[in-house]
């Protein structure tokens, strides 16, 4: 749907790394230029992957919002299509296909734990299930865009810091994410960096799963709760900034 609108300067995305890698891979596969704006805290492995996909990488500022601001300025002067990391319908729909996979593979699931940055993945799941499943949205103390919005009753700006800032470091929950999570009655759960580190260790030691902090946050959230015996839980471990 977007391909017919792509101009000579290709596509544009601001990202902590994961979304940018996906955009860069798709653009390279389809023969388009990919301008990817990332903050200085990007994982070295993710930066290497962007270069492997021949993206034009712009490293700007200390956090995601700085990269997004620079990307928007670039867009004003170039003929390119922006692919927002979490607040764009096509991106949220794509993320939401994970819910279809969970339904197919684990139809008995009642409760889903998912990490949240700007809310794109969580919004995709929430849109698919509505209130059908218990959706627990997990953030770290330094990345509380959803938690703070829920407390305020609207999206608000938050300070970004901590171990998962490279991937979950959105300064504000996306409008799509806000509406989807409120409508689905999604829960908010905040974990500490220490809990995330412990979850990472458990994932590799007990399950042989290597997970970046943002991905392990969902597991940290699961571990922090008393789960009723009649609940069947799925923990979404999504993210590739493992360095």
CATH code assigned at 130? 3.40.50.1100
Give pLDDT, residue 243.
41
**Mean local confidence (pLDDT), 180-209:** 97
Total structural domains within the chain? 2
Q: What is the mean pLDDT of the chain?
A: 94
**How far, in Å, are 135, 164, 233, 235 from residue 227 at the CA level?**
13, 25, 9, 13
pLDDT value at residue 204: 95
- 185 and 210 co-located in one domain: yes
Cα(65)–Cα(196) distance, integer angstroms:
23
The verdict on 93 and 60 lying in the same domain is no
The SS3 assignment for 57 reads: strand
User: Are 224 and 128 found together in one domain?
Assistant: yes
Domain that holds residue 24: 3-82
CB 89 within 8 A of CB 82: no
* 46-100 confidence digits (pLDDT tens): 899 999 999 999 999 999 999 999 999 999 999 999 999 999 999 999 999 999 9
Provide mean pLDDT across the span 39-46.
90
Provide the 3-class DSSP secondary structure of residue 34: strand
Look at residue 175 and tell me whether its pLDDT is greater than 70. yes
- pLDDT of 1 over the 90 cut: no
pLDDT tens digits along 111-130: 999 999 999 999 999 999 99
* pLDDT the model gives residue 43: 86
Q: Tell me if the pTM is above 0.75.
A: yes
Based on the fold, state whether residues 69 and 162 are members of the same structural domain: no
Angle between helices 145-152 and 175-183 (to 10 degrees): 60
93 burial (CB, 10 Å; 0-12 / 13-18 / 19+) is middle
Q: How confident is the model at residue 16 (pLDDT cuts 50, 70, 90)?
A: confident
Helix then strand then coil, % of the chain, to nearest 5: 45, 15, 40
Token digits of residue 48:
């290497």
Q: Are residues 50 and 167 in the same domain?
A: no
24 lies in the same domain as 123:
no
Residues 11, 61 within the same domain:
yes
Of the candidates 84, 30, 34, 27, which has an alpha carbon nearest to the alpha carbon of residue 58?
Answer: 34
- Side-chain half-sphere exposure of 71, counting CA atoms within 13 A: 29
């Amino acid at each position: 749907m977007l391909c017919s609108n792509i101009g000579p300067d290709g596509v544009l995305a601001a990202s902590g790394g994961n979304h940018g890698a996906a955009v860069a891979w798709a653009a390279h596969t389809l023969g388009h230029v990919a301008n990817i704006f990332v903050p200085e805290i990007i994982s070295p492995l993710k930066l290497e992957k962007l270069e492997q996909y021949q993206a034009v990488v712009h490293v700007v500022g200390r956090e995601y919002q700085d990269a997004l601001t620079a990307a928007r300025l670039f867009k004003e002067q170039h003929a390119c299509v922006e692919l927002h990391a979490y607040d764009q319908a096509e991106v949220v729909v794509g993320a939401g296909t994970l819910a279809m996979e969970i339904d197919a593979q684990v139809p008995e699931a009642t409760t889903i734990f998912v990490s949240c940055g700007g809310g794109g993945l969580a919004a995709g799941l929430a849109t698919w299930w509505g209130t059908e499943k218990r959706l627990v949205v997990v953030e770290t103390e330094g990345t509380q865009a959803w938690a703070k919005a829920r407390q305020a009753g609207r999206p608000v700006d938050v300070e970004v810091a901590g171990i998962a800032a490279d991937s979950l470091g959105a300064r504000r929950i996306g409008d799509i994410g806000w509406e989807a999570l409120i409508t689905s009655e999604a829960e908010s759960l905040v974990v500490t960096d220490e809990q995330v580190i412990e979850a990472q260790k458990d994932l590799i030691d007990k399950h042989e799963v290597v997970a970046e902090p943002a991905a392990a946050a969902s597991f940290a959230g699961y571990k922090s709760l008393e789960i009723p015996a009649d609940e069947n839980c799925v923990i979404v471990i999504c993210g590739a900034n493992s360095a």
